[in-house]
Amino acid sequence: MKTGAVTGRWHSARLLLQRFAFVVLVMAAFALMLLGKADTILVERMRGVVVDLMTPVIRALSQPAGALADVADNVRDLANLRAENARLREENQQLLLWRDAARRLEAENTQFRSLLDYTPPPEAQTFAIRVMGDTGGAFAHSLLVAAGSKDHMRKGMAVLTGEGLVGRVAQVGRRASRVVLITDITSRVPVVLENTRTRAILAGNNSERPRLIYVPAGARVLPGDRVVTSGHAGALPPGIPVGVVSSVDDTVIRVQPFIDRDRLEVVRVVDFGLSGILGSLDVETRAAQAEAMKAARERGRNQRIKDSQPPAAEGAEP
Amino acid sequence: MIIEKTFRQKFDLAVRQILPFVTALLAALMMATQTHVPRLNSLMPSLALCVVYFWSIHRPSLFGMGSAFAVGLIQDMLTGVPLGLNTLVLLLTRAGVATQARLFLGKPFSVHWWGFCLIALIAAVTSWVLAAVALGMIVPIGQVLASALFSALVFPPIFWVCSVIERRLLAEDP
C-alpha cells in the first residue's frame, strides 16, 4: 500500500516535471528566435561550430547520392556521346574565333593602358572548394563547402562557378563554411542589365528564379537581357555574370540564374579584396570604421568652426 | 568476466536509449546532403519530422522533448533558417503526437499515414508563419506546402525503416 503511494507520487512528480520541461523548452525556442535576431555574432559562431561538427557526417551521407548521380551522368553522357561531340566541335570553332578576337583586344587594351598610365586593380585570389551539402528546403537556399577559416575563408567572399555567381560566404567554421545562394530570400545583389546599364537589385525569394527590384521607372527590360553584378556597395566587383531575364510582366521581373544548383560540385571562392557592405564586416572592422567616421566628423566640425570665424586682420595680434 | 558482461549490458542499454535520437539526427543531416536530383533540394521533405513523429508514437520514453529540441536546434544551426524554427516545430510535434499516441498504437499503417499528413500540414503552416515573423518576409507558401506533400510521400519508407529498427534493436524496453 505504502509502495503504491510512493509510486503514485513519483509518477505525478515525473508528469509535472515533463509538463514543466515542455514549457521551459518552448520558452527556450522563442528565446533562441530572439537571440538569432539580437546577437548575430554569437549565433554565427554557434552555427560555425555546428557546421564544423556535422559536415564530416554530411559528407559521408552524401557519398551514395553522389555515386548514384555519377552513374546516371555517365549513362546519360554515353547516350549523348555522338551529339555532344558534334556540339563541341562546333563550339570549338566558335571559340577559336573568339580567341583571336580576345588576343586582338588584349593587345589593344595593353596599348591603351600604357598610353593612359593605368594602374590595374590587384588580381583576385581564387581557390576551388568542394561542395559537401545543400541545406535545402523551402526556407533557406545555401550550400555547405569544405573550407573554413583555416583555409583563409572569410565572411562575404564571392562564390562563383565558370557559369556565374553562386552566392556569398555567410558563415565560416574552422573546416567548413556555409554559402548563401543568390536565390535565398535574404540575398540582395546589386546588378546591372548588361546592354542598357539599367541598375537594379537581384532579390532572392527562395524560388529558382529570383526577382529584380528597384528597377528605375521607365526602364526597358526584355526577356533574354543579361544580368551582371554592378559592383555597387563594394560587395562584389562589377561584371560577374548572374543570369538572364526570363520573364517580364507588369509587377515582377524574374531572372534565371546561370548556375545549376543541382549540379554544383566544385565552386570557386574569390577574394577580390573588397571591404564589402557593413553587414558583412567583423566587429573589429566595424569598430575601426566607426572610429574613422567619428574622427572625420570631428575634423569636419572643426573645419566648419574655423570657416565660420572671421579672418584675422593682417598683422593683428593673435 | 562478470564485469565485462555488466559493461556490455550497460553499453547495450545506452545504445538502445540513444538510438531514436541518432536516427532523428541522421534524418536531419540527410536533409542537408546533395541529392543531385533537379529541384529536389528546394522542396526537400522533412525527414526529421517523419522520424520524430514515429518515435513520439512508438517510443516516447526513449525520445523525449529534449531530444526533439536538440535535433531541431542542430537542424536550424546547419541550414541557416531562423534560429528556433525547426526547434519549435519538432518540439511541438513531439509533445502533440505523444499525447495522442493511443489513437495510433495498434492501428493499421493507413491511420499512421493520415495522421502524419495532418501533422506535416500543420507543421508546414506553423513553420511558414514563424519564418515570416522571424525573417520579416513572406516565403512562397507553395514551396512549403509542396515540401509537406513530399514529406507525406516519403513517410512510408521511413516508417518501415524505423519499424525495423524498433523491432530488431528495441525489442525489449530498457
pLDDT of residue A311: 46
pLDDT of residue B72: 95
Q: Does residue A100 belong to any structural domain of this protein?
A: no
What is the distance between the alpha carbons of residues A41 and A281, in angstroms, rounded to a whole number?
11
Q: Does residue A295 belong to any structural domain of this protein?
A: no
Cβ partners under 8 Å of residue B3, min gap 6 = none
Q: Enter the DSSP assignment of A216.
A: P
pLDDT of residue A232: 79
What is the distance between the alpha carbons of residues B44 and A166, in angstroms, rounded to a whole number?
20
Helices H / strands E in chain B, number of each: 7, 0
State CA B151 to chain mean position distance: 11
Confidence of residue A228 (pLDDT cuts 50, 70, 90): very high
Alpha helices in A39-80 (DSSP H): 40-79
Interface residue A146 vs chain B (CB under 8 A): no
Domain locations along chain B: 2-169
Q: Closest to A32 (Cβ–Cβ): which among B42, B79, B84? A: B84
Interface residue A141 vs chain B (CB under 8 A): yes
Q: Enter the DSSP assignment of B33.
A: B
The CA-atom distances, in angstroms, between B45 and each of A25, A146, B30, B32 are: 25, 24, 10, 11
CA dihedral A298, A300, A302, A308 (to 10 degrees): -150
Which of the residue ranges A25-39, A271-285, A304-318, B1-15 would you say has the lowest mean pLDDT? A304-318
Q: Enter the DSSP assignment of B81.
A: S
Mean of the per-residue pLDDT values of chain A: 80
Q: How far is B170 from chain A (nearest CA, A)?
A: 23
Q: Cell numbers of A195, please?
A: 546592354
Please report the residues numbered 33 through 72 in chain A whose beta carbons come closer than 8 angstroms to any beta carbon of chain B: 33, 35-37, 43, 46-47, 50-51, 54, 57-58, 61-62, 65-66, 68-69, 72
First to last CA, chain A: 104
Confidence of residue B168 (pLDDT cuts 50, 70, 90): confident
Each residue of B54-68: pLDDT tens digit? Answer: 999 998 988 989 999
> Which residues of chain A make contact with B73, given a CB cutoff of 8 A?
32
Cβ partners under 8 Å of residue B90, min gap 6 = B48, B49, B52, B68, B69, B71, B72, B75
Q: Does residue A281 belong to any structural domain of this protein?
A: no
Cβ partners under 8 Å of residue B140, min gap 6 = A138, A205, A206, A207
Interface residue A181 vs chain B (CB under 8 A): no
Q: What is the count of structural domains for chain A?
A: 1
> Which residues of chain B make contact with A57, given a CB cutoff of 8 A?
26, 29
Q: Cell numbers of A5, please?
A: 503511494
> Which residues of chain B make contact with A72, given a CB cutoff of 8 A?
36
pTM of the model: 0.77
- Cβ atoms of A33 and B73 within 8 Å: the answer is no
Q: Closest to B36 (Cβ–Cβ): which among A58, A69, A170? A: A69
Q: Does residue A235 belong to any structural domain of this protein?
A: yes
Q: Does residue A279 belong to any structural domain of this protein?
A: no
Section A61-77 average pLDDT: 79
Q: Cell numbers of B99, please?
A: 499525447
Q: Is the pLDDT of residue A314 over 50?
A: no
Q: Does residue A212 belong to any structural domain of this protein?
A: yes
Contact B81 A137 (CB under 8 A): yes
CATH of the domain at A250: 2.40.10.350
Q: Does residue A240 belong to any structural domain of this protein?
A: yes
Q: Does residue A269 belong to any structural domain of this protein?
A: no
- Grouping H, G, I as helix, E, B as strand and the rest as coil, residue A250 is coil
pLDDT of residue A48: 86
Pick from A174, A54, A208: nearest CA to B76: A54
> Which residues of chain A make contact with B137, given a CB cutoff of 8 A?
185
For residue A231, the one-letter residue type is G
Contact A22 B95 (CB under 8 A): yes
For residue A79, the one-letter residue type is A
Each residue of A101-156: pLDDT tens digit? Answer: 898 898 888 888 888 877 766 667 788 888 888 876 788 889 889 888 888 888 88
- Print the domain residue range for A200: 188-258
Contact B35 A65 (CB under 8 A): yes
Q: Enter the DSSP assignment of A103.
A: H
Could you tell me the fold of the domain covering B2-169?
Answer: Arp2/3 complex 21 kDa subunit ARPC3 (1.10.1760)
For residue A58, the one-letter residue type is I
